[in-house]
Amino acid sequence: MAGGIPIRLVQENGNTIELDATTMVLSTSRKVGGSALPLTGSFRIGMDLNVNKAMINIQGIIADDREGTLATAHSASINFGKQKEGQRFTMASNLEALLNYKLHLQTLSTAVASQEKTISFTNTASAGATAYSSNGGADSTPTVLVNTSDATSVQLATAVVDYINNQLSSDFTATLGEGTNYESVSMNCVVNIVMVAKGSATTMRRTTPNFKITTMVNGNPFLDFPDRATFGGGTDSVKKSAGDKAMDLYGVINNSTRRSLRGVLNPISSFRVDSEKDYIVGIQIPYNSSIKATGGDLYVARNFFMPTGLFFNGKEKTSEGNDEPASVKFAESLLGTTTGIAGSIQKFDITYDAGESVYNFNMIFAPIDKLLIG
């Protein structure tokens, strides 16, 4: 029967590949050395500039998925605290322009733009009245009331969240989130939107949330859009055999490109569907932690992480600072991540003995915080 430590390789699109490690070596070598001083009885001095090399060598087996990957939903966000270029979004002129636009949201099953869900914006003269209204729009329809003189980013974000949860709850859920505004101040000015339907496929390219003008009239001001992230990240539920995963790994490792490079060489590639973003960007290796166990448990599962960078100090670099459960979704960050180890596969050998139900592998994984070229 297959056995070993269950590890996960994480692809750029968020999909994971389950493997079983039987042996593992976490190797680090520091560039430090000493030199003897003359006339001191060989007293040695040296320098350590905290420059290290790291490598992970794992041997194990590729077996059938135990559970496979669960389906996840696409998510998106809108930051009403700043424009895409970083300026203030809630300027009076921009709020006036917003009244001529509708916020469009596509669902997983949206086939054409005319089927997208929309949110309208209606002017109100009442001070401090920027909020969701169930009947304040044209013909007493639901809308977001906007006072163009005093509307704040938090009011706008709160109103859009309320609209989605009251009027579009069969297709989306929305929450108010903290974000950085144009003054680099953190506040609850972000709308986080998640599709109710789970899966990766949509019937058209994901370009929403997007603001589209309703009527073109001479003199209408154009809207400077808020900073936003379009829908993405949805995955399908998949359960694969050992052979499926061996073929996946062989194909991906032989030919995959990090989207950061493609985006530089070919801007069209930034519109690739998630299934094409298959580059392996990280690894999650669980271990048993007793220091984080609670409620009488002897152990709790945590992932190894690499605390490189200037933002890990003291206990933050150790098991005492490892608060993420082993099941956490892997997330890359320039500030470092505790959700796993970012990097790339340097070498991967697959072997198979006839009659066996599993494949054997030997992998060399290079920890890299930011991979510029893939």
Note the pLDDT of residue 266.
Answer: 45
The pTM for the full model equals 0.61
Rounded to an integer, what distance in angstroms lies between the CA atom of residue 283 and that of residue 5?
A: 13
Note the pLDDT of residue 97.
Answer: 93
Domains of the chain: 5-33+47-69+238-367 (2.30.110), 75-232 (no CATH)
Note the pLDDT of residue 260.
Answer: 52
Note the pLDDT of residue 18.
Answer: 85
For residues 227-253, one letter each, b for 16 or more C-beta atoms within 10 angstroms of the residue's C-beta and e for the rest, the string is bbebbebbbbeeebebeebbebbeebb
Note the pLDDT of residue 66.
Answer: 73
Considering only CA atoms, which of 198, 209, 181 is closest in space to residue 117? 209
Residues of the chain with pLDDT under 50: 1-2, 261-271
- The DSSP bridge pattern shows strands 172-180 and 186-195 to be antiparallel
Which residues are paired to 45 by β-bridges? 35
pLDDT digits (tens, 9 = 90+) for 145-187: 999 999 999 999 999 999 999 999 999 999 999 998 999 898 9
Note the pLDDT of residue 210.
Answer: 95
Note the pLDDT of residue 92.
Answer: 94
Let me know the angle formed at the C-alpha of 198 by 192 and 202, rounded to the nearest 5 degrees.
Answer: 90
